[in-house]
Copies of this chain bind each other. A is one copy, B any other.
Amino acid sequence: MSLESYMNQIGQQARAASRLLAKASTQQKNMALFAMADALEDARPRLIEENLKDMGNGRAKGLDDALLDRLLLNDKRIDGMIEGLKQVASLPDPIGEISGMVYLPSGIQRGQMRVPLGVVGIIYESRPNVTIDAASLCLKSGNATILRGGSEAFYSNQAIAEAVVKGLEFAGLPSTAVQVLNTTDREAVGKLITMPEYVDVIVPRGGKGLIERISKNARVPVIKHLDGNCHVYIDNEADFDKAFNIALNAKTRRYGVCNAMESLLIHADIAKEILPRLVGAFEEKGVELVGCELSRSISVSIGMATEEDWYTEYHAPKLSIKVVTDMDEAIAHINQYGSHHTDAIVTQNYSKTRSFMTEVDSSSVMVNASTSFADGFEYGFGAEIGISTDKIHARGPVGLLGLTSQKYIVLGDGHTRDN
């Protein structure tokens, strides 16, 4: 079969399965999730065996250690997948909720019903556990899923897919409700993102390069997460202890995460007082510092920042520091150089918190809290398919609700329109 025919078949099957999933009961979906957990448990030896093939191929291809680590499936990671399935089963089912039903002058009643998006395409890189993460969230929200994992995880993903299908069949759901592509042809991605007749939305999970490539070529809406160039602004009216703790936590809790602070902005009036203390703490943690002229005049430990630094998500123990004359300059800097992900202000001034919340154009805006909290679990969603830096549809951490849509429901009793 040609790739074109194969992808069309996958698409048709997904669309057909989505019709059945849209009317599946919560009980049936949960039953499938628990059955998948059981099937993964049963498949442990096979999962590890298949993963060994991928690991061997990866080593032969010279993949670096970080990539090999992401690729690895061991008992602990399989435990994690099983636990994840049970957690998603325990989440409330968002589908079917009807809200806002009001009577209108014509006599009709109008409201909205929460419904699945339909078919979700997930494109990801080396981590095989994403297969379960993504499939479970899509299933719980009533969507059919087409998964395309990294070619380096091919055997692992196929083995996981077998367990998924067992779970679906056990619950009487179509086995095509979750389809893992069985080709490593790169053209398959190109086709997946350009068949709007079969795919309602694409969620890419991976590096910036992957996401930009997909966004550029997609003819299907993409829920995407680009940079996390997050800022903390310490205002002149900040409580210094809170500011110190928040800045330190936002930068040093973990370096490789998207909600880590990459740039620190400090009001000029208090920079001399707070910056040396912070510089000491960052140095102790081994964080490399670069900054503006003013910051460097306060601490000689700060290297020179280039224009490029202000745009950069380091994903590493490195931080850029800028001294600003007031909050307005901080806001303008964040809106210009930031990535509209998560930005925080530390201040005790009530009016400034209101302005900062209104004017900073980011998916999460925080007051006196660490940017580290930008996360679907911390926000209480119980799960997260990603963090969206888009403004359309889903913005910020995306849980089950981000995988749903709402349709209008109108109830009449023979009503016709006169005008």
Residues of A within 8 A of B (CB): 19, 22-23, 96, 102, 104-106, 108, 110, 113, 115, 117-118, 200-201, 215-216, 219, 221, 239, 241-242, 245-246, 248-250, 253, 332, 335, 344, 355, 357-359, 361-370, 372-374, 378-380, 390-393, 395-397, 405-417
Contact = CB atoms under 8 A, between A and B. Distances in A.
Given A113-B357, A118-B391, A373 B106 contact: yes
Contacts of A239: 414
A196 B358 CA distance: 22
A408 B245 contact: no
A245 to B, nearest CB: 5
A391 B117 contact: yes
A265 B189 CA distance: 39
B246 A408 contact: no
Nearest to A390: B221
B23 A359 contact: yes
A233 to B, nearest CB: 14
Contacts of A108: 369, 373, 378
A215 B34 CA distance: 40
Query: How many copies of the shown chain assemble into the complex?
Result: 2
A373 B19 contact: no
Most buried by B among A96, A200, A365: A365
A22 B108 CA distance: 35
Secondary structure at the A interface, as helix, strand, loop or mixed, is mixed
A22 B367 CA distance: 19
A225 to B, nearest CB: 14
A416 B246 contact: yes
Shortest beta-carbon contacts, A-B, top 8: A369-B412, A242-B414, A249-B416, A372-B417, A366-B410, A364-B408, A393-B393, A391-B405
A142 to B, nearest CB: 10
Given A239-B414, A366-B409, A369-B415, 16 more contacts: A22-B361, A23-B359, A108-B369, A249-B417, A364-B409, A364-B410, A365-B407, A366-B411, A367-B412, A369-B410, A370-B412, A372-B416, A374-B408, A392-B393, A393-B393, A396-B407
A317 to B, nearest CB: 17
Contact of A378 (B22, B241, B335, B417): B417
B365 A408 contact: yes
9 contacts: A108-B369, A117-B391, A201-B392, A245-B416, A362-B407, A363-B407, A366-B412, A369-B411, A369-B414
Contacts of A245: 414, 416
Contacts of A242: 413-414
A347 to B, nearest CB: 11
A364 to B, nearest CB: 4
